[in-house]
Amino acid sequence: MRLRRSWRATLCVLVAAATMTGCGGEPPRPGNTLASADAGKLTIGIRFDQPGMGLKTLNKTYEGFDIDVARYIAAELGVEPEDITWVETRPANRENFITGGAVDFVVGAYTIDEERKRQVAFAGPYLPYGQDLLVRRTDNSITGPQSLNGKRLCTVSESTSAQYVKDTFAHDTKLVQYKQYSDCVSSLLANLVDAITTGNALLSGYAGQHPELLKVVDKPFTQRAYGIGLRKDDAASRSKINEALRKMIASGAWRASLQANLGPSGYTIPAPPAING
């Protein structure tokens, strides 16, 4: 009898835990971003490893253009900086974090594309970009994607950037993948890969970290844009975030943030994007 009562008690604990956390191990969150903001809190997904865009420093502070964008939106929604919880999101988990409610929205160099739009909605775009290459400063042999045959090209898991280069420009490119771009940068500096490919804004951030050792080729070969990912059925929040982005651009804060975070690397600030919706 005692064993049966003990087993039932254990089962109740497990069921309660599952109810509180959900299958993904994250506590359930309100059904939309505005509900979270009305409660005075926001949980925002960002990247932790992208200098100039989204970086968690050794002092456990957060800096970069994406961070500035996220804070501006939060302020427009009435949420103070100290009431933001930052969560690291990666290409492999962004959609699950959004649809599962682990974050209210994602501002993390999140490219808008049709496949992702089947799972989540995008506010913005908030930054146009072109795919480019980061190489060692002393390497003049790589002048664009066509010159990558026989070279080792690095990108992160779940990204299609390097495969696009191989399929479109240089079939003999040797692809190398890591979990994060900072690993690609370490390998580039150690001569284990020859180039890194992703958006030129991200690459400029890494070049700014190592200006004497790395450079962006600065010949972008795509035209795409980053957006803010949120739940697909959350139209009201998308509209409010778009309002905040328009205000950030009109006030000059958008350009000032880009200049402060990426300008020192030589990054050319693009024209502000047209906000959709």
Which sequence spans correspond to the domains of the chain? 30-129+224-265, 131-216
Q: What is the pLDDT of residue 160?
A: 83
30-129+224-265 and 131-216 share one fold: yes
* C-alpha gyration radius of the chain: 21
Give the range among 17-26, 69-78, 209-218, 240-249 with minimum mean pLDDT. 17-26
One-letter amino acid for residue 28 of the chain = P
Q: What percent of the chain lies above the pLDDT cut of 70?
A: 89
Q: What is the pLDDT of residue 31?
A: 53
- SS3 of 156-220: the string is ECCCCHHHHHHHHCCCCCEEEEECCHHHHHHHHHCCCCCEEEEEHHHHHHHHHHCCCCEEECCCC
Nearest to 76 by CA among 263, 269, 254, 270: 254
Query: Cα–Cα distances in Å, from 228 out to 111, 150, 212, 236?
Result: 9, 36, 33, 14
Nearest to 202 by CA among 267, 259, 248: 267
pTM to 2 decimals?
Answer: 0.84
Q: What is the pLDDT of residue 248?
A: 98
Q: State whether CATH 3.40.190.10 applies to domain 131-216.
A: yes
Q: What is the pLDDT of residue 57?
A: 94
Q: Residue 90 CB: number of other CB atoms within 10 A?
A: 18
Contact predicate 88/47, CB 8 Å? yes
Q: What is the pLDDT of residue 8?
A: 41
Give the range among 8-22, 191-205, 207-221, 243-257 with minimum mean pLDDT. 8-22
Is pLDDT of 166 > 90?
yes
CATH-assigned architecture of domain 30-129+224-265: 3-Layer(aba) Sandwich (3.40)
Give the range among 82-91, 157-166, 167-176, 185-194 with minimum mean pLDDT. 157-166
Q: What angle do CA 167, 171, 176 make, to 5 degrees?
A: 85
Average model confidence (pLDDT) for the chain?
89
Q: What is the pLDDT of residue 127?
A: 98
Q: What is the pLDDT of residue 14?
A: 38
